[in-house]
Structure 1
Amino acid sequence: MNANPIRAAVVLGAVTMSAGAFQVALAEGEGPHSVSANIGAVSNYIWRGQTQTDDQPAIQGGIDYAHSSGFSAGTWVSNVDFEDAYGNDTNYEWDLYAGFGQSITDDFSYDLNVIYYAYPDARDSDFAEVGAGVSYKWLSAGIAYTFYGQADDVPGVDNGDATFDEGDLYYHAALDFALPYELGLNLHGGYYDFRYNDGGNDYGHWGVSVSREAGEFGTFSFNYDQIGRETYDDDPKIWIGWNKEF
């Protein structure tokens, strides 16, 4: 694991999930309630620019509930590969989340969400965020605030001096375009503003994803991600994802 491991993101409204995830409808009928499941495969689990699997593949999936009012909730899991602050191997992540979103017009929408990132086989690694996002046509942007983190419990770490602890902020934005031949183009970027170390651990990242639907075979994606700070693994990350809806 890197000195500052980065965890997974789960989709809530306009917040983007890992590109390899896909949704499978379990209940669609008429009425205000719907339930779906998602499962995904990626050659490298990348979140906010950093690998969570030591540049190895991941299988991911979850279950989601949605109400016609705009409320949603769900859970999501993925394998990971890093060490916690005590040197113990961390093998999986389990997220719980809920949110509310609405469309104001045909082009403009918003969402509010909260997510808890759990690492059951790690020590003092869980944290939680509250976030907000907006989207207008092909542009989306948002912010996430860490309001709880177990890193304070690590011996030798002073209050407020740990990443993924209360006060951390993450800013993100993306552009999405439909291209010919059923291709999709996503341009994305973000900036992590850690309360820890007076900015010494802050970083920005950016990336590009190209996807294509393949009928019954689902959707395939080719992805590039890059971190812009040498104190992290700033090698280009090239990875592929696959998803299918049915």
Structure 2
Amino acid sequence: MKKLTRSALSAAVVAAVSTGGLAMTATATAEMSANIGVVSNYYFRGVTQTLDSAAVQGGVDFEDASGFYAGAWTSNVDFDDGTSYELDLYLGFAGEVANGIGYDVGYVYYAYPDAPDSIDFGEIYGELSYEMFYAGLAYTINSDNDDGLFDSGDAYYYVGAGLPLPEDFSLGLTLGFYDFDNDGSADVGDASYSHFAVNLAKDAGDLGEFSLNFEYADIDEGDALGTVNSDDLKTWVGWSKGF
């Protein structure tokens, strides 16, 4: 997913980065691009989506000079229930206002077409950025799961920074909090948690981008998202390339 890599609204931070595009018109008012990636573990806001296994991911994006963009992104997943893949569809507007303040607003729909139960949900999101710093919010506005996790009313808040380093390296830092609407209910139990991520990436030009990533989620083993996601530091590596 091109626009939302920092806030991790879809995939792992660098696995979904698109670094190039194909102009659609001679005036370059719009462009199409694509991206592919491989990660040793697919994390979504500090929670594994593949039971600690690897994932192959990719997507396509359309971007207009007006700031409008739309795209689709997919990855294999494993929830130990037969669900095999995720498909994200999104659209939004991004740009810059006065004094160098950037913005990104839009909607993303998370679909799991072969899940045994309907677990799709959709979020609106907004992000503000200035130089290397950014902050944002993703809010679930529609969901097929009325009384569990990823229900309407869930919110993910985050702040972070992206720092360029010498030799085409970069460092990303993200601190987030996932506030579940049904946290503490009898059917769910403790669910809300804080999340921290550190991502070190190397731009290797035509070879793509490589990354070393660390994830921590403050989740106890007895929590709703516990066991495989219990609070110890997770490490994963990734590769991505844009076209």
Give the TM-score band, short-chain normalised: 0.7 to 0.9
| TM alignment of 1:86-235, pairs within 5 A | 88-105=81-98, 107-122=100-115, 123-152=117-146, 161-198=147-184, 200-230=190-220, 231=223, 232=226, 233=229, 234-235=231-232
Please give the secondary structure, in 2, of the residue aligned with 1:196. Answer: coil
Pairwise CA RMSD of aligned residues? 1.9
Answer with 212-221 or 91-100: which moved more. Answer: 212-221
The amino acid of 2:39's aligned partner reads V
The amino acid of 2:176's aligned partner reads G
Inter-CA distance 116–10: structure 2 relative to 1 (3 Å threshold): farther
CA distance in 2, matches of 1:11, 1:59: 19
Answer with 229-238 or 128-137: which moved more. Answer: 229-238
CA distance in 2, matches of 1:12, 1:22: 9
Flag structure 1 segments of 5+ consecutive residues without an equivalent: 1-8, 153-160
Q: Deviations over 1:153-212 (max 9, x none)?
A: xxxxxxxx3211111111012111111222111111210000113482110010111111
The amino acid of 1:132's aligned partner reads G
The amino acid of 1:120's aligned partner reads P
Please, which of 30, 40, 43 is the counterpart of residue 46 of structure 1?
A: 43
Q: Please, what TM-score do these two structures have when normalized by structure 1?
A: 0.85
Please give the secondary structure, in 2, of the residue aligned with 1:151. Answer: coil
Asked whether the 8 Å contact 1:221–1:241 carries over to 2, the reply is yes
Q: Deviations over 1:34-54 (max 9, x none)?
A: 111111111110110011011
Identify the residue that residue 28 of structure 2 maps to in structure 1: 31
Asked whether the 8 Å contact 1:128–1:149 carries over to 2, the reply is yes
Flag structure 2 segments of 5+ consecutive residues without an equivalent: none
Asked whether the 8 Å contact 2:61–2:71 carries over to 1, the reply is yes
Asked whether the 8 Å contact 1:14–1:111 carries over to 2, the reply is no
Give the total of aligned pairs: 226
Asked whether the 8 Å contact 1:12–1:99 carries over to 2, the reply is no
Please give the secondary structure, in 2, of the residue aligned with 1:82. Answer: coil
CA distance in 1, matches of 2:123, 2:31: 25
Asked whether the 8 Å contact 1:13–1:111 carries over to 2, the reply is no
The amino acid of 2:210's aligned partner reads F
CA distance in 2, matches of 1:13, 1:182: 18
Inter-CA distance 15–205: structure 2 relative to 1 (3 Å threshold): closer
CA distance in 2, matches of 1:180, 1:165: 42
Query: What is the deviation of 1:106?
Result: 6.2
The amino acid of 1:103's aligned partner reads E
CA distance in 1, matches of 2:28, 2:205: 28
Identify the residue that residue 155 of structure 1 maps to in structure 2: none
CA distance in 1, matches of 2:163, 2:114: 40
